[in-house]
Amino acid sequence: MSELALAIPPELVEAIAQRAAEIVLERQGVTAASTSPYLTIPEAAELLRSKRQRVDDLLSSGRLSRFKDGSRTLVSRAELEQHVAGVMPRRNHALRRIA
C-alpha cells in the first residue's frame, strides 16, 4: 500500500490562517476598522485574562513596550499577541510617544 502525500504551499496555509482569523473576529463582532492597534492597560489585562498588575509587571520588566498618548499608557496589540504566543524578545524600558 502506498502513501499519498500532498504538498501545501506556505502561501496557501497563510491565506487559510488569515481567513480563519477573520471569521473568528466576525463572529465576535470585531471588524478590522474597529480594532485599534493599541490597548489601554485594562484592555490589555482583559485580553490576557489577567489582573491589571500583570500588565504593569510586563511593562516594568521591559517585556512589553509602553506608549504614551497624553496621560494614557497604551500597549501595542500586536506586541501583546506576540508575547502571548511566546515569540517576544525581552525589550528595554524605552518609553515611546504616539504622534
The pLDDT assigned to 89 comes to 56
pLDDT digits (tens, 9 = 90+) for 77-96: 999 988 888 875 555 555 56
In DSSP terms, 39 is beta-bridged to 75
pLDDT digits (tens, 9 = 90+) for 51-68: 999 999 999 999 999 999
- Helix (H) or strand (E) holding 84, with range, is helix 77-85
**Amino acid, res. 4:** L
pTM, 2 dp: 0.56
Torsional sign, CA 46, 36, 73, 89:
positive
Where are the chain's structural domains? 36-97
CATH match for 36-97 among 1.10.10, 1.20.140, 1.10.3470, 2.40.160? 1.10.10
- Written as nine digits, the cell of 98 is 504616539
- Written as nine digits, the cell of 22 is 477573520
Name which of 56, 57, 68 is nearest 95 in CA terms: 68
pLDDT digits (tens, 9 = 90+) for 16-39: 999 998 888 888 776 555 578 999
